[in-house]
């Protein structure tokens, strides 16, 4: 299916072929991530961020500007007419009137799907609720493909808050398009949602659950770490129970394969120690940097 004019709301809407087209385009875009490529001149991207962000918003904005386009929008509802009581739907209608593509982040699950139903222009989900962050998953998969030269055949550990981290949910959905083995490493309480597990297993994804990193580490080609999503816990006492329950350090990576890469969508808090930065395994800052060419690729495909 063509990327042109498409909404990017959930990884479930994309095939392996779609991702391969995206990765090839992103690889080309790496050449232009600094110098620019004037293919979206006169096009406007609206960013509607109702939740905080550093990487997603700024890499989308950089990507659009590097492609010669313009950016309008807001990084918080503060200062917009939402403060006067304007609804989400009306806000999206307005952005649809002004822009050629709308990038939305919202704390409520389903917000991006609703925006896509309202807007004529393509809508890109920059993270909504604790379930979907498709462009982060595309970036994570691109990083693996780029750093390892392939995705098929790899053993991938995913460690941390697998329940509330939307990046994990979208990444599992994306990985279900490939022939990989997954080690889920987390406290019992932070296992992924059953609905996600059922979905990815029905597509043939092989999963094993562990509570300790040491049980899986030696086999892994990729270790993806996420922070505990404090802001998504409904009960603060539940957060207190699991807070600090895992932490990756340089020391804890002893026993890893030499070419293991450690990924993290960032921001990190205390689950990924700075000592890991100095190891050959650290790939998370390169991962964040790939966000610009990957999002240049996505915007150029959707708006071409």
Residues 6 or more apart whose CB falls under 8 angstroms from that of 296 comprise 26, 29, 32, 33, 37, 63, 66, 67
- Contact with ligand CP (CB under 6 A) among 9, 47, 53, 140: 53
Check if 241 is active-site: no
In the list 266, 282, 299, 303, the residue contacting ligand CP (rule: CB under 6 A) is 266
Helix (H) or strand (E) holding 207: strand 206-210
Mask for 94-133, x = binds ligand CP (CB under 6 A): ---------------------------------x------
Secondary structure letter of residue 87 according to DSSP: -
Residue 135 annotated as catalytic: no
Stretch that binds ligand CP, among 67-75, 115-123, 224-232, 262-270 (CB under 6 A): 262-270
Q: 24 and 294 in contact (C-beta within 8 Å)?
A: no
Q: First vs last Cα of the chain: how many Å apart?
A: 14
Give the nearest distance from C-beta 136 to ligand CP in angstroms.
Answer: 5
Three-class SS string for 145-198? HHHHCCCCCCEEEEECCCCCCHHHHHHHHHHCCCCCEEEEECCHHHCCCHHHHH
Q: Point out the catalytic residue in the list 56, 91, 167, 196.
A: 56
Tell me whether residue 158 or residue 217 sits nearer to ligand CP (CB atom): 158
Q: Residue 265 interacts with ligand CP (CB under 6 A)? A: yes
Touching ligand CP, residues 55-74 (CB under 6 A): 55-56
CA diameter of the chain: 56
Cβ proximity to ligand CP: between 115 and 139 the closer is: 139
Catalytic annotation present for 56: yes
Output 93 or 268, the one with its CB closest to ligand CP.
268
Helix (H) or strand (E) holding 202: helix 194-202
Known active-site residue 84? yes
Half-sphere exposure of 49 (CA within 13 A, CB side): 19
Cβ 135 to ligand CP, closest distance in Å? 9
CB of 13 to ligand CP, least distance (A): 19
Pick 17 or 267: Cβ nearer ligand CP = 267
Residue ranges of alpha helices (H) inside 208-283 are 236-242
In angstroms, the CA 235 to CA 228 distance is 14
Nearer to ligand CP, 61 or 256 (CB): 61
Interacting residues toward ligand CP by CB under 6 A? 53-56, 127, 136, 265-267
List the catalytic residues: 55-56, 84, 105, 133
């Amino acid at each position: 299916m063509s990327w042109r004019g498409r909404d990017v709301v959930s990884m479930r809407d994309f095939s392996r072929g779609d991702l391969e087209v995206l990765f090839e385009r992103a690889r080309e875009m790496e050449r232009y991530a600094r110098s620019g490529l004037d293919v979206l001149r006169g096009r406007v991207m609206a960013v509607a961020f109702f939740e905080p962000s550093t990487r997603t918003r700024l890499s989308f904005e950089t990507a659009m500007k590097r492609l010669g386009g313009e950016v309008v929008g807001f990084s918080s509802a503060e200062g917009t007419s939402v403060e006067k009581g304007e609804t989400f739907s009306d806000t999206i209608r307005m952005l649809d009137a002004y822009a050629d593509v709308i990038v939305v982040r919202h704390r409520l699950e389903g917000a991006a799907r609703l925006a896509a139903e309202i807007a004529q222009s393509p809508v890109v989900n920059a993270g909504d609720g604790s379930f979907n962050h498709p462009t982060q998953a595309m970036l994570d998969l691109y990083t693996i493909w780029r750093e390892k030269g392939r995705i098929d055949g790899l053993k991938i550990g995913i460690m941390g808050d697998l329940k509330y981290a939307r990046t994990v949910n979208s990444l599992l959905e994306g990985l279900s398009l490939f022939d990989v083995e997954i080690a889920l490493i987390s406290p019992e309480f932070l296992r992924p949602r059953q609905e996600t597990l059922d979905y990815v297993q029905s597509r043939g994804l092989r999963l094993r659950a562990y509570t300790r990193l040491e049980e899986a580490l030696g086999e892994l080609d990729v270790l993806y770490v996420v922070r505990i999503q404090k802001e998504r816990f409904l009960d603060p006492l539940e957060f207190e129970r699991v807070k600090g329950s895992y932490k990756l350090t340089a020391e804890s990576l002893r026993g890893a394969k030499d070419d293991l890469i450690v990924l993290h969508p960032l921001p990190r808090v205390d689950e990924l120690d700075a000592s890991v930065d100095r190891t050959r395994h650290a790939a998370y800052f390169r991962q964040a940097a790939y966000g610009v060419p990957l999002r240049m690729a996505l915007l150029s495909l959707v708006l071409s």
